[in-house]
Structure 1
Amino acid sequence: MLQWLKGYFDLPGHETTLKREMTAGLISFFTIVYIIAVNATILAEAGIPMEAAIIGTIVTCVIGCLLMGFWANAPIILVPGMGINAMFTYTLVHSMGLSWQEALGVVVVSGVIITIVSFTRLSQILLEAIPTSLKHGITVGLGLFLTLIGLEKGGLIMKGDNSLLMLGDVTSPMVITTILSIIIAVFLFMRNVPANFLISIVASTVIASLLGVVSFQEMGGGALPLESYVSLFGAVSFAKIGELAFLVAVFSLTMVLLFENIGLINGHLNMTKRPEKFKRSFQANGISILTSGITGSSPTVSTVESAAGIAAGGRTGITAIVTGSLFVLSIFAIPFIKIIPGSAIAPILIIIGVLMLQSVKQIDFQDLSEGFPAFLIIVMIPFSYSIADGIAFGFIAYPLVKLALGKAKEVSAPLYVIAGLFFLTFLTNVH
């Protein structure tokens, strides 16, 4: 079995070990496991029964991770995307008047389109159409976004009373736990201690329990009743497929998913120094989006938290497969998983943010026609709290700045089309 794993996933060729891959998968799981409760809560607001939404989220995560692991052999985890789930519930269902079954139909159609794109030359054309400065801008923007999420999870940053953001209460047990956890995580990481992220999570959870941040009495009951999922699986409706609202929903969702995932996959594979895996990773992503609608969830994305496993040494699909397998077990262990506090996850997200920020060196800010659109992506991703909107701003600005400077020929024809389509999504106000 070990020999088969080494051969199929080419562990020697990736300069990694089974132990390292499994540890990376465990780290990826702990950094993203929050998605089970959060995604289910948002789906429930669309009308999907809560227990069914939890199981649907888990099944979707399992399929996405296994697809990425076995098909693309990449350490990228595919789970329902934050922001995309909000679009599913609050835009497609609440604003556009689709039922949740019809919204799942939109997900399936978008998945079919993206899958077709991924298996044709179009995927490479789209990747090549994106300027290098924008690709690096996306990576930096994602790093800042992760940092912001980490600071928010740890209570160091919170919504301000008289401003958008403000410093959290540094005397509160939660923030004290976060600060101590950051010290531990940074020390272990800089000393290159094996399984440093995992040790940090365990140590941080222990500290949180000692300071009263974690309450073991709130762990609740055991596994979920699986029969609740019967009403959700395959409950896809195409009743309104010919209507304008459905078509606009498909267009908007497809645009966001296409370029958010292109940016995420490219950024993650740059971290692993394996850009040649883009095509298969994108294909796995497309199929996963398609199956999301069938399994009863908002669409999957190559989530930004994948960087945690990559930073922990994950280089092959084993990382994603381990994460997917742990999602299976999570059906029986949700009460235990829920006790891991945000203060234990925050340091990992912040450290990854620092690592991703290094891509800023690759952006030529001396040439503002390259630097300014990249800068827009960098600031708009965290400040708008939306990867898709941040990317859109940079993609629209790039050709406009080039045109203004008389450098129109430096912009590829596909990028003009992409910028125009992003502009349309803003006009339709369903991005």
Structure 2
Amino acid sequence: MTTFLENYFRLKEHKTDVRKEVLAGITTFMTMAYILAVNPGILSAAGMDAGAVFTATALGACIGTVLMALFSNYPFALAPGMGLNAFFAYTVVGQMGYSWQVALAAVFVEGIIFIILSLTKVRSALFNAIPPALKVGVTSGIGLFITFIGLENAKIVVSGPTLVGLYPFKAAFADGTFWSTGIGALLALIGILLTAVMLAKKVPGGILLGIIITWGLGMLCELTGIYVPDPKLGMFSVMPSFANGIAIPSLAPTFMQLDFSAIFTFNFVTIMLSLMFVDLFDTLGTLIGVASKANMLDKNGRLPKIEGALLADAIATTGGALLGTSTVTTFVESSTGVAAGGRTGLTSITVAVLFFLSLFFAPIFLAIPAFATAPALVIVGFLMVSSLLNVDCNVDFNDMTEAIPAFIAAVAMPFMYSISEGISMGVISYVFINLLSGAHRMKQISSVIYILAIIFVLKYIYV
């Protein structure tokens, strides 16, 4: 079996082995398993059956991730995307008043269009047209973005008078919330330090061990009464519960429940284009960032076999809509598996298997708290930001026409809480700075970049 896996996924060619790939897959899964709990909660606000959405989420992630492995042999994992699910539930259904069946139809149409664009290589052309400087900026921006997500999820960073600030430990101790949110934040900080030490000592699987150790400390704290779960504060029990058994929730309430009655209306087209825009550039940004960190880009900054990766993403979106979930997309948390050494589709297959098993062992996977996965996100964020120091990135940061747009793309992602917004700002600034400074005369800037800049500007004016 080991020999088959080595030959099929070409492990030696990618300087990896079965053990490393499996550990990387487990790491990726544990950092994105939260989607199994979060997605049903968000989509149920749109009136969808939470149990069916849970099953659709697990199956959609499993199918999409398997396709990624088979089509591209890359260590990327897919699942219903955060942000896209909120737009689905709170904007399309909540504000615009459409049924969730119509929203699923919009997701399905978006997926079909993406399949066509992937087969005609339009999406890969967009990827390849992005200048190397922006690719480095996007990689760094994603690193800052997932670091911020990790700190926010662990409640180390909270909202405050200065917009965001450090968790108020003293005030929380006084009002009693420290034993819930405060303990979680402290455990996350401990986990970050422990994970950093393990990476410094080159401990195999250090990022995964950081998650497991932090989770273990959380269970110990809960058993001893130091950590007190409080759902009102978003702090839940970290102990797996099998009180409801291991029955798989029925998919029937959402399966094939698409409503195309509004397909020829202007609002439907607007919804579909909005979903498509965010998905397109979130996916491109994720592929750029994760592939760059894994040194998968060629000397021209292109990703070989990107067509297969994009096609897997497109088919997963279409399949997810049929199952009954919002847009399935490539997850930025894939970077945790890459940082753990994952380099091939075997990492993705491992993630897919775990998503399938989650149908039977949901209590275990859903018990992983956000403060336990925070150390992985923070450390991987650091590893991705370090791409700025990579001497092989072929970007001259003394050239302000390259460096400033890269910087804008990087900082826009965490501050605007969006990968796609970071790409938008980066592309717009790149075109304007190069045009107005006259630097464009000495460069071969792709016409695609000019077109994208115009589209992004129009988006901010009209959308």
Do they fold alike, i.e. is TM over 0.5?
yes
Query: In the alignment, what sits opposite 1:417?
Result: 451
Corresponding residue SS for 2:258? coil
Give the direction of change, closer, same or farther, for the CA distance of 1:123–1:218 in structure 2 (3 Å limit): closer
The answer to whether the Cα contact below 8 Å between 1:269 and 1:278 also exists between their aligned partners in 2 is: no
Structure 1, unmatched stretches of 5+, are none
Deviation for aligned residue 1:246: 0.9
Corresponding residue SS for 2:155? coil
Give me the whole-angstrom Cα distance separating, in 2, the residues matched to 1:22 and 1:178. Answer: 25
Query: In the alignment, what sits opposite 2:130?
Result: 130
Deviation for aligned residue 1:218: 7.3
Corresponding residue SS for 1:166? strand
Query: In the alignment, what sits opposite 1:76?
Result: 76
Deviates more, 1:309-318 or 1:418-427: 418-427
Give me the whole-angstrom Cα distance separating, in 1, the residues matched to 2:37 and 2:118. Answer: 30
Give me the whole-angstrom Cα distance separating, in 2, the residues matched to 1:349 and 1:257. Answer: 21
The answer to whether the Cα contact below 8 Å between 1:27 and 1:308 also exists between their aligned partners in 2 is: yes
Q: Which string of whole-angstrom CA distances, capped at 9 and with x for unpartnered residues, describes residues 233-256 of structure 1? A: 111121111110111122222222
Give the direction of change, closer, same or farther, for the CA distance of 1:250–1:292 in structure 2 (3 Å limit): same
The answer to whether the Cα contact below 8 Å between 2:21 and 2:343 also exists between their aligned partners in 1 is: yes
Corresponding residue SS for 1:255? helix
Give the direction of change, closer, same or farther, for the CA distance of 1:220–1:152 in structure 2 (3 Å limit): farther
Deviation for aligned residue 1:43: 1.0
Query: In the alignment, what sits opposite 1:241?
Result: 263
Corresponding residue SS for 1:112? helix
Corresponding residue SS for 1:165? strand
Query: In the alignment, what sits opposite 2:108?
Result: 108
Give me the whole-angstrom Cα distance separating, in 1, the residues matched to 2:456 and 2:319. Answer: 25
Q: Which string of whole-angstrom CA distances, capped at 9 and with x for unpartnered residues, describes residues 298-334 of structure 1? A: 1122111001111111111111111111111112222
The answer to whether the Cα contact below 8 Å between 2:55 and 2:249 also exists between their aligned partners in 1 is: no
Q: Which string of whole-angstrom CA distances, capped at 9 and with x for unpartnered residues, describes residues 201-232 of structure 1? A: 22212211233337466736345654632020
The one of 385, 388, 407 aligned to 1:360: 388
Matched, 1:320 2:342: no
Matched, 1:253 2:275: yes
Deviation for aligned residue 1:402: 2.2
Give the direction of change, closer, same or farther, for the CA distance of 1:286–1:216 in structure 2 (3 Å limit): closer
The one of 316, 333, 353 aligned to 1:305: 333
Query: In the alignment, what sits opposite 1:154?
Result: 154
Q: Which string of whole-angstrom CA distances, capped at 9 and with x for unpartnered residues, describes residues 169-203 of structure 1? A: 45732222122212211111121112222222222
Query: In the alignment, what sits opposite 1:25?
Result: 25
Deviation for aligned residue 1:48: 1.0
Query: In the alignment, what sits opposite 2:10?
Result: 10
Matched, 1:66 2:66: yes
Give me the whole-angstrom Cα distance separating, in 2, the residues matched to 1:170 and 1:149. Answer: 20
Give me the whole-angstrom Cα distance separating, in 1, the residues matched to 2:240 and 2:129. Answer: 50
Give me the whole-angstrom Cα distance separating, in 2, the residues matched to 1:312 and 1:3. Answer: 22
Matched, 1:371 2:403: yes
TM-score (normalizing by structure 2) = 0.87
Give the direction of change, closer, same or farther, for the CA distance of 1:343–1:102 in structure 2 (3 Å limit): same
Give the letter for the 1:132 counterpart: P
Matched, 1:397 2:418: no
Corresponding residue SS for 1:381? helix
Give the direction of change, closer, same or farther, for the CA distance of 1:217–1:285 in structure 2 (3 Å limit): closer
Paired residues in the alignment total 428
Give me the whole-angstrom Cα distance separating, in 2, the residues matched to 1:294 and 1:28. Answer: 25
Query: In the alignment, what sits opposite 1:209?
Result: 219
The one of 315, 323, 329 aligned to 1:287: 315
